[in-house]
Copies of this chain bind each other. A is one copy, B any other.
Amino acid sequence: MSLGEVEVSVTPEEKFREFLQTKNLRMTRERATIVEHVFSSHEHFEAEQLIQQLAEQRVSRSTIYRTLKHLEEAGLIRKVARQDARDVFEHDYGYPQHDHLICKKCGTLIEFHQEKIAEVLTGVARDHGFRMEGHRLEVFGLCDNCCRPPKTRPKKLNLL
């Protein structure tokens, strides 16, 4: 998306395979299908979407949930937000660190990057003897579009 990509030496599939090996787990057709699909675009996604999109490739609901867990543990994806009652994921591997503005009205996720935030958090963690491993920052509000309601610009001299 807008933030560009990070140079990576290993494909997500390979990285996942390496992770699986360290855990004595196996690369299966289903897992390969899921990683490939997930990393075929940089969109945010939810479990339910994958389930529907991968149904015709014969990947079951359970396998998708189970694999998402592994992908998260492998550091390939991460939960970025919660919308309605569902977890929203995105790539964590091969994608620069960033956070999100979340429109309460239309649900759009706008990515942004601000070095300062990580800096501040590093300091805070140090002050508390906290070993920081990551963070999730959700900024709520109204996006540019939803701010100005009268999108329906009434053509002058209509009825009346």
Interface residues of A (CB under 8 A from B): 82, 101, 103-104, 110, 112, 114, 116-117, 120-121, 124-125, 127-144, 147
Partner among B130, B131, B134, B142 whose Cβ is within 8 Å of the Cβ of A131 = B142
A112, B124: Cβ atoms under 8 Å? Answer: yes
Cα-based distance from A40 to B82 in the complex (angstroms): 29
Q: Taking the nearest CB of chain B, how far is it from the CB of A110, in angstroms? A: 6
Quote the shortest CB–CB distance from A123 to chain B (angstroms).
8
Chain B residue numbers with a CB within 8 Å of A134 are: 139-141
Whether A136 contacts B133 by the Cβ 8 Å rule is no
Kindly provide the distance from the CB of A96 to the nearest chain B CB, expressed in whole angstroms.
Answer: 15
- Is A120 within 8 A of B130, CB to CB? no
Measured in the bound complex, the distance between the Cα atoms of B120 and A139 in whole Å is 12
User: Which one of A127, A129, A132 has the greatest number of beta carbons of chain B within 10 Å?
Assistant: A129
Cβ of A101 and Cβ of B124 under 8 Å apart? yes
| Extra 9 A-B pairs, beta carbons < 8 Å, given A112-B127, A136-B138 | A82-B82, A103-B130, A112-B124, A117-B117, A117-B120, A125-B139, A128-B144, A132-B140, A135-B139
Q: Cα distance A136–B99 when bound, in Å?
A: 11
B residues near A104, Cβ cutoff 8 Å: 133
